[in-house]
Structure 1
Amino acid sequence: MALNKRELFQKRRLRVRNKLKAMSDGRPRLSVHRSNKNISVQLIDDVGGRTLAAASTLEKDLGLVGKNNVEAAARIGAMIAERAKAAGVEEVVFDRGGFLFHGKVKALADAAREGGLKF
């Protein structure tokens, strides 16, 4: 049974999400989405079903529109850490989705940790 790339991505994403659900203990989820042109991250309260904070390279004031590189990911990670602190959140669970924890996703996570988020 050969699976294509999209099906493998979906399996990986669901596997990660289910593991996070089991260990979250009510902490908000830091969800990462990466496309070919942009990277975005949301801080989601799954219990209340709402977004607490978000950051993306699509925001004009950051000057990163259309950039999807390691430096842009690090700036987005620092920005989400700052916005999470403003929302009163310090501990989160990191949801990498179906993306591998390498390169841009790792840079975003490291910058968020340096900004004060614990996960």
Structure 2
Amino acid sequence: MLKKQEKRQRRQIHIRAKVKGTEKCPRLSVFRSNKYIYAQLIDDVNGKTLVSANNVKIDKKDGLNKIEKAKEIGSSLAKKAIDNKITKIVFDRGGYKYHGRVKAIAEGAREGGLKF
């Protein structure tokens, strides 16, 4: 299992070397565990998190699967970002495949009004 994590961390390093976020165009960083998923908009120049969202509170809702919860996280993150006058972002998939929950966050953010 450690081998799989090492591979993801290598992919993550290569992606983060290419993708940089600024205050006007922050980086949408995604982390997923088995139970929860977290997303945050990061300004890499100043090293600050501008907006964040997760499914810890959404997890209490019944009848939603993980992908539907991830889509809700993306749309709530987009709403918070637009309130902070952020409309353009750079997507950082964090070494994960662009599939499933990671893809759902991106789609929810796009539907919420963010531009990649």
Indicate the TM-score class for this superposition, using the shorter chain for normalisation. 0.7 to 0.9
Identity %: 50
Report the more deviating stretch, 43-52 or 63-72. Answer: 63-72
SS state at 1:43 partner? strand
State the distance in 2 between where 1:41 and 1:33 align.
Answer: 6
Per the TM alignment, residue 64 of structure 1 is displaced from its structure 2 partner at its CA by 1.7
Residue from 64, 69, 75 that aligns with 2:59 = 64
Q: Which runs of 4+ in 1 moved over 2 A?
A: 65-68
Matches of 1:43 and 1:25, distance apart in 2: 10
- 1:54 is aligned, of 52, 64, 69, to 52
Structure 2 residue aligned with 1:77: 74
- Structure 2 spans left out of the alignment, 5+ residues: none
* Superposition deviation, residue 98 in structure 1: 1.1
Q: What amino acid does structure 2 have at the position aligned with 1:35?
A: S
2:28 paired residue among 19, 27, 30 = 30
**Counterpart check, 1:117 vs 2:89:** no
TM-score w.r.t. length of structure 2: 0.88
TM-score w.r.t. structure 1 length?
Answer: 0.86
Structure 1 partner of 2:7: 8
Q: CA deviation at 1:6?
A: 1.5
Q: Unpaired segments of 5 or more residues in structure 1?
A: none
Supply the distance in 2 between the matched residues of 1:25 and 1:89 (Cα, whole angstroms): 11
**Conserved? CA contact 1:38–1:65, under 8 Å:** no
Letter in 2 for 1:12: R
Structure 2 residue aligned with 1:18: 17
Given that 2:22 and 2:43 are in contact with CA atoms closer than 8 Å, whether structure 1 keeps it comes out as no
Root mean square deviation, CA, Å: 2.0
Return the offset for 1:65.
4.7
Distance 1:68 1:44 in 2: 27
User: Are residues 65 and 43 of structure 1, via their aligned partners in 2, closer, same or farther at CA, if it must alter by over 3 Å?
Assistant: farther
1:5-58 Cα shifts (integer Å, max 9, x gaps): 11111111111111113xx56621110010000001001111121111100012
Does structure 2 retain, via aligned residues, the 8 Å contact 1:90–1:117? yes
The aligned length equals 112
